[in-house]
Amino acid sequence: MLVTLNGVCKGFLDETVLKNINMAIGEGDRIGLLGVNGAGKTTLLNIIAGALDCDEGSVLKKSGLVIGYHKQNEALDSENTLDEEINLALKRVFELRKELEGLSGSISRTDAGSQEYEKLEKEYSALENEYNALDGYNAETRINTVLNGLGFGSFDRNMRVKNLSGGEKIRFSLAKILLTEPELLILDEPTNHLDFGMLEWLEGYLNSFKGAALIVSHDRYFLDKTVRDICEIENCELVRYKGGYKQFLRQKEERIALLEKEYSRQQEEIAKLRDFVNRNIERSSSTNSVGSRVKALEKMELKQKPNPRPKDVHFAFNYDIEPHKVVLTLKDVGVHVGNSQTGKQLFESFSLEVLSGEKIAIVGRNGVGKSSLIKAIMKRQSFSGAIRFGGNVKVAYFDQELSDLNLNDTVIEAVHRKFPQKSDFEIRSALARLLIEDEAVFKRVRDLSGANRAKVQFLIIMLTRANVLILDEPTNQLDYIAKEALDTALREFTGTLITVSHDRYFLNSVPTKIIEMFPDSLEIYNGNYDYYLEHRRLPNADKKEEKAESEQSKAYTETKLNKALERKKRAKINALEKEIETLENEIASLKELSASQEVVSDYQKLSEILSQIEENEKALAEKETEWLEINE
């Protein structure tokens, strides 16, 4: 085992965060860690990484365990260049390379066969073994593969890290940790700031990663692609499930139902036993029966009452008026940002017709203008061309920045501002269905978590009763329980949905049409995200880039395979040479023995030895042939 946690407990002030956590991380494990916001996921990661001590219990780690820990949104910010930071990540590799080069020069200047020569060769061999273990010969290929995969392929590696954007600094921090290839990789929300291409690359990288990985992620699709176990922290306790995210949902429901059933069955049994005892305690004829039931009660191992199920979040989107068949028309629409001289044309000449009841998701590379298109449709962004809604259309808009909410309002004021005719009771009842209850309704919007701010905005949308929903990154702030509830509500919504999202699980679950944006065109796919992946058409530039990445990945794999084969071949040759030497020694000994007076005078013994010599010579010939074939 790499890490074993036994009875770990942790609290802050008077609040218990983790209680009696038992967990084992073995070599090659792929574990996803789930829990609602504040459940204690990051606390557990910090305890495993050694950044935080537990209050009770123990954390046992393999001796010399190397852990690579990527913290959520931790940006690498330094005066170093990209190259200098990469060299720090592979410091030992480059140190060994320099030492090997120095030793190689010393060996070439030393007389072969001398004691100094043998000493240098032995030292070189030991360092080379360490260098091979660190995959040093493939260091440059690994660097290029990771940097290309995370979007740094075209970057000048002499630029300083501090000059990267915020998202780029976080991605580069992830790249640096991946390059260290630790035995245990701990990733806290690694998918932040990654586009679809980077996500797919990271999934492939993790699936071929030799070490173990413990991953916290809000990306349900990513978890399904990369983990083989799910650990969930709920009510301060941890439960482990086999399989990915989808299997976790099913197994959790089955587990809770079973616990509830077993507890109820035992409570019924206890009630029956107690009832029998109470009714028959004074009847002498039942003394034995009563006594046996009392003993049964005393010996019974009481099952712990299951934790109450968390309350469900209830989203529901309804409307009153059916719109006309065509709900939205775009004609030659374009968006230019910035001034006319230094600005940028994001896209132009987009034309699109949206029909009632369609559920459309807009996807595309970061920076192509997806959110700008949504804002243009809502007339919140200047544009060229024409945008027109159809008859009887009522629109509700979810802005990923949640800029429509006044931060100084209380929750109840924020809803009243949009719906002054609603009573406090109606608003509080609606908020309670989204699990914003009691004193939370009087909190200022600025003091809410991101998830609760999003829920307030969703409540306003639900009360609007719109037949067209336009949602920009609707799942970003929500935990996985709320995401599941939102997925269900939007699937059941019979109106029209237009959404921009990076949530691939959501894109697979809700939309029935995917539209991919390019700077000069739109590509339409009549299906969900998996259908889009299977049928997508890439522009020539992207095809070339994908082919180059594929060829580079293939070359990297082939190089690693060749190195592995070479090491295997060298090991086989060494083993054969030892076997040949052993056989030759045995044959020489047997021949010497066969010539002794004692054996010569004993026909049976001589016959056995000669037979053994013949078998050994036959085996020797086979080993020598095998050695020659390998060395050809």
* Token duo for residue 253: 């429901």
What's the pLDDT at 242? 94
Residue 303 confidence (pLDDT) = 82
How far apart are the C-alpha atoms of 210 and 138, rounded to whole Å? 15
Mean pLDDT of 542-566: 55
Pairing of β 237-242 and β 229-234: antiparallel
Instruction: Give the confidence band of 560 by pLDDT, cuts at 50, 70, 90.
Output: low
Task: Assess contact for 22 and 7: CB atoms under 8 A.
Answer: yes
Residues 403 and 443 in one domain: yes
Query: How crowded is residue 119: how many other Cβ atoms within 10 Å of its Cβ?
Result: 12
C-alpha 528/C-alpha 542 separation (Å) is 22
The reported pLDDT for the residue numbered 338 is: 77
Give the model confidence (pLDDT) of 490-545 as tens digits.
Answer: 999 999 999 999 999 999 999 999 999 988 889 999 999 999 999 887 655 455 55
Beta carbons of 39 and 238 less than 8 angstroms apart? no
Which has the higher per-residue pLDDT, 568 or 530?
530
Beta strands in 63-133 (DSSP E): 67-70
314 located within any domain: no
What percentage of the chain exceeds 90 in pLDDT?
54
626 in Cβ contact with 576 (< 8 Å): yes
Confirm whether 17 is domain-assigned. Answer: no
**Rounded-to-integer distance, Cα 244 and Cα 231, Å:** 10
Give me the sign of the Cα torsion angle 15, 19, 24, 30: negative
pLDDT given for residue 563 in this prediction: 54
Domain region containing 412: 326-537
Q: What is the pLDDT of residues 347-396, one digit of tens each?
A: 888 999 999 999 999 998 888 899 999 999 999 999 999 999 999 999 99
Contacts of 509 (CB under 8 A, 6+ apart): 487, 491, 528
Q: Looking at residues 300-307, what average pLDDT do you find?
A: 82
Cβ atoms of 505 and 527 within 8 Å: the answer is no
Same domain for 514 and 383, yes or no, is: yes
Do residue 514 and residue 546 come from a single domain?
no
The answer to whether 107 touches 120, Cβ cutoff 8 Å, is yes
Residue 594 has pLDDT above 60, yes or no: yes
- Do residues 254 and 244 both lie within one domain? no
Q: Please tell me whether residues 365 and 502 are part of one structural domain.
A: yes
For residue 590, give the 3-state DSSP assignment.
helix
- What mean pLDDT do residues 133-137 have? 85
SS (H, E, C) 358-369: CEEEEECCCCCC
pLDDT of residue 49: 94
Q: Convert the pLDDT of each residue in 448-480 to its tens digit.
A: 988 999 999 999 999 999 999 999 999 988 999
- pLDDT bucket at 632, cuts 50 / 70 / 90: low
239 shares its domain with 265: no
Q: Mark whether 549 and 616 lie in a shared domain.
A: yes
Do 237 and 290 fall within a single domain?
no
Question: What integer pLDDT is reported at residue 275 of this predicted model?
Answer: 83
Residues 391 and 505 in one domain: yes
What is the pLDDT confidence band of residue 613, given thresholds at 50, 70 and 90? confident
Residue 320 within any structural domain of the chain: no
pLDDT for the residue 541: 45
244 touches 224 (CB < 8 A): yes
Query: Are residues 530 and 618 located together in one domain of the fold?
Result: no
* Distance from C-alpha of 157 to C-alpha of 138, rounded to nearest angstrom: 19
**What token pair was written down for 98?**
């320099």
Indicate the residue among 217, 248, 279 that finishes a domain.
248
Question: What is the pLDDT at residue 65?
Answer: 93
Q: How confident is the model at residue 120 (pLDDT cuts 50, 70, 90)?
A: confident
Least confident range from 106-120, 476-490, 546-560: namely 546-560
Paired sense of beta strands 212-216 and 229-234, if any? unpaired
Distance, in Å, from the CA atom of 587 to the CA atom of 610, rounded to the nearest integer, reads 10
CB–CB of 477/450 below 8 Å? yes
Integer angstrom CA distances of residue 110 from 100, 120, 126: 15, 9, 18
**pTM of the shown model:** 0.76
Beta strands 326-337 and 468-472: pairing type? unpaired
Rounded to an integer, what distance in angstroms lies between the CA atom of residue 30 and that of residue 460? 40
Which residues have a Cβ under 8 Å from the Cβ of 527 and sit 6 or more positions away? 512, 513, 514, 535
User: Of the residues 219, 248, 277, which one is the last residue of a structural domain?
Assistant: 248
Is the pLDDT assigned to residue 552 strictly greater than 90?
A: no
Task: Mark whether 207 and 92 lie in a shared domain.
Answer: yes
Q: Is residue 235 part of a domain?
A: yes
* Dihedral angle over CA of 508, 509, 510, 511, nearest 10: 20
The pLDDT mean for the chain works out to 87
Q: Are 199 and 189 in contact, with CB atoms under 8 Å apart?
A: no
CA 48, 51, 54 angle in degrees (round to 5)? 65
CATH code, domain carrying 461: 3.40.50.300
Q: For residue 255, is it within any domain?
A: yes
Q: Which residue has the higher pLDDT, 335 or 542?
A: 335
| Amino acid sitting at position 147 | L
C-alpha span between 566 and 582 (Å, rounded): 24
4 falls within a domain: no
Q: Specify the higher pLDDT residue, 560 or 248.
A: 248
Residue 578's pLDDT is 80
| Spatial distance between the Cα atoms of 435 and 413, rounded to a whole number of angstroms | 17
Counting the structural domains of the chain, the total is 4
Residue 193 has pLDDT above 60, yes or no: yes
Q: Which amino acid is at 230?
A: I
pLDDT of residue 580: 84
Q: What is the pLDDT of residues 156-182, one digit of tens each?
A: 989 999 998 888 999 999 999 999 889
Task: Output the pLDDT for position 549.
Answer: 52
Q: Does a structural domain hold residue 616?
A: yes
* Phi, psi of 619, rounded to the nearest 5 degrees: -65, -40
CA terminus-to-terminus distance, the chain = 42
Alpha-carbon distances, residue 464 vs 318, 354, 388, 396 (angstroms): 9, 21, 20, 7
Contact status, residue 93 vs residue 134, Cβ threshold 8 Å: yes
Among the candidates 185, 213, 248, a domain finishes at: 248
**Is 340 a member of any domain?**
yes
What are the two backbone dihedrals, phi and then psi, of residue 68, each rounded to the nearest 5 degrees? Answer: -110, 115
619 exposure class (CB count in 10 Å sphere: 0-12, 13-18, 19+): middle
Q: How far apart are CA 618 and CA 612, in angstroms?
A: 10
> Is there a single domain that holds both residue 81 and residue 199?
yes
pLDDT level of residue 603 (50, 70, 90 thresholds): low
